[in-house]
Amino acid sequence: MIALGTQSKDELVSAFRNLMATGHMVVFLIRVQGAPDKVPDGAEPVFIAALFDVGDDLPNRVETLLDVSDLLLAEFIVESLLERRPVEVRVPLFRDAMSGSTGVIFPIEVVKLQMHRHERDRSPAIAQSELQQLLRKLVSRVVALADWGALLNHRHLAPLLYAWDQVVPDGPRPWTEEQAAKRAGLAPLIMAFDRHAREDGQHPLVRFLDVDAAKERARQWLQEPGLDPEEKAALEAFLAPPSAWDRLRRALYIRTRRRFGHRNRQRGAG
For the CA atoms of 221, 170, 55, 128, what is the dihedral angle to 10 degrees?
-160
| Rounded Cα–Cα distance for residues 210 and 191 (Å) | 17
Q: What is the pTM of this model?
A: 0.85
Per-residue pLDDT, 201: 79
Residue-wise pLDDT for 68-87, tens only, equals 788 889 999 999 999 999 99
Residue 49 pLDDT exceeds 70: yes
Q: Contact at 8 Å (CB) between 79 and 117?
A: no
Per-residue pLDDT, 118: 75
Domain residues of the chain, as ranges?
Answer: 1-171, 172-270
Residue-wise pLDDT for 151-170, tens only, equals 999 989 999 999 999 999 99
Provide the residue type at 178 as one letter.
E
Per-residue pLDDT, 127: 93
pLDDT band at 121 (very low <50, low <70, confident <90, very high): confident
